[in-house]
Amino acid sequence: MVRRKLTEVLEEYRQKKKRLRWNTIDSYSRAWNKLIDFTGDIMVSDFDNAEDFEAYLFEQALAAGAVKSNMKMVKVIMRWAWQKDYRQGDPFSGLRLPRVPGKEIRVFTDAELYGMLAAAPNDMWAARIIAAGSAGLRRSESLNLKVSDVDFDKGIIKIQSCKDTKETWPYSPKDYESRRLPLTEELNRLFVRILDELPVGYPYLMITAKRYWWLQQLRSQGKMGPRMMINPDENFCKPFGKILRTAKIRDGTYRDLRSTAITRWLLAGLAPQEAQRLAGHSDIETTMTFYAACRADIIDRARQAWSIGATGLEPATS
């Protein structure tokens, strides 16, 4: 068995896993550093108190979901270290992770969607809203959508990786999975109007020309990092929050537009596996949480299923 300190394991893991997205490896690193804060920079083979680490995380006032997430990420690196013969066994084996209550899925109503579109300051913001609400695009997918990713004749939006070129920066969708999504008539019209306003040969559909040229300047100076490539418009939440307030919507996020799209696909009769493919979920269980939310009438239907008259269990009469 090879002896390695926790910091050495993390550094090697980061070097070996460069295929992972920047934000993924950053999350793993922060979780592992919490372990180092707890134990000190000990040999990875010496760590054997996963239960105490869990208690430590709760003592840091982390919510159950955050504790569970940190422990799952540390466990992944621990198992990798085991495979590398840096330790023996998985110290998290047999330890049940904290139970986390499921989050209620927020689905925007038609009135709320119309309100957002009316409050959108320009066509580009309207396109961002419809792209997420009708095609289920994630924020990073919307912002990295290129003109060449849209097939206007076939009515298809292609979510796919982008190479590092003179005009474009490298980008890969979550889980590196390419997929095709529906281009609605409303989004088609918006894209056409946006193209009319953009310079000829401009590669991106939902980033302003001003922002694009500023990013290109940063790239030329080596200052455009991986985080900015994933979300090239960092001034996003504030204007979207203003759209919600103008539309008099008290709660909701841009991600909820994607939830709305997935829910509507299921309500329209798509099978969970079909919705999974469109959404780009790596796990069908993720899609099934939306399927369960679609069955919002389950309580009423279950109540109606118990009908004394319908079951022949009428009370006896004397």
HEC string of 211-255? HHHHHHHHHHCCCCCHHHHHCCCCCCHHHHHHHHHHCCCCCCCHH
Mean pLDDT is lowest, of 43-47, 67-71, 267-271, for 267-271
Q: Note whether 221 and 131 are same-domain residues.
A: yes
Q: Note whether 55 and 194 are same-domain residues.
A: no
Boundaries of domain holding 47: 6-83
The two structure tokens encoding residue 207: 């980033």
Whole-number Å distance between alpha carbons of 100 and 108: 24
DSSP strand pairing (179-182 vs 150-151): unpaired
Report if residue 289 sits inside a domain: no
Query: What pLDDT does residue 185 have?
Result: 92
Contact 286, 174 (CB under 8 A): no
Contact 87, 44 (CB under 8 A): yes
What does the pLDDT look like over 179-228, one tens digit per residue?
A: 999 999 999 999 999 999 988 889 999 999 999 999 999 999 999 988 89
| pLDDT band (50, 70, 90) for residue 105 | confident
The CATH number of residue 36's host domain is: 1.10.150
Whole-number Cα distances in Å, 70 to 5, 45, 50, 192, 282: 19, 19, 12, 44, 20
The CATH number of residue 116's host domain is: 1.10.443.10
Q: How many residues does the chain have?
A: 318
| pLDDT band (50, 70, 90) for residue 297 | low
Q: Note whether 250 and 137 are same-domain residues.
A: yes
| pLDDT band (50, 70, 90) for residue 249 | very high
Q: Note whether 147 and 236 are same-domain residues.
A: yes
User: Of the candidates 257, 275, 301, which is a domain's last residue?
Assistant: 257
Whole-number Å distance between alpha carbons of 89 and 96: 16
Residue 254 vs residue 317, higher pLDDT: 254
Q: Quick check: 308 pLDDT over 50?
A: no
Whole-number Å distance between alpha carbons of 168 and 50: 44
What does the pLDDT look like over 14-52, one tens digit per residue?
A: 999 877 777 788 899 999 999 999 999 999 999 999 999
Whole-number Å distance between alpha carbons of 71 and 67: 6
Residue 129 vs residue 283, higher pLDDT: 129
* Mean pLDDT confidence for 127-134: 95
| pLDDT band (50, 70, 90) for residue 70 | very high
Nearest to 142 by CA among 197, 191, 206, 189: 206
Number of domains in the chain: 2
Phi and psi angles of residue 216, each rounded to the nearest 5 degrees, phi first? -65, -35
Q: Quick check: 240 pLDDT over 50?
A: yes
User: Of the candidates 32, 48, 83, which is a domain's last residue?
Assistant: 83
The two structure tokens encoding residue 299: 């309580």
Query: What pLDDT does residue 76 have?
Result: 94
What's the gap between Cα 28 and its chain centre? 16
| pLDDT band (50, 70, 90) for residue 63 | confident
The two structure tokens encoding residue 212: 């694009």
Q: Note whether 153 and 77 are same-domain residues.
A: no
Q: Note whether 128 and 251 are same-domain residues.
A: yes
pTM of the model: 0.75
Report if residue 314 sits inside a domain: no
Q: Quick check: 11 pLDDT over 60?
A: yes
Q: Note whether 117 and 242 are same-domain residues.
A: yes
The two structure tokens encoding residue 265: 């696909």
Query: What pLDDT does residue 174 have?
Result: 81
Q: Note whether 129 and 236 are same-domain residues.
A: yes
Report if residue 203 sits inside a domain: yes
User: Of the candidates 227, 257, 287, which is a domain's last residue?
Assistant: 257
Query: What pLDDT does residue 311 have?
Result: 46
Whole-number Å distance between alpha carbons of 174 and 80: 22
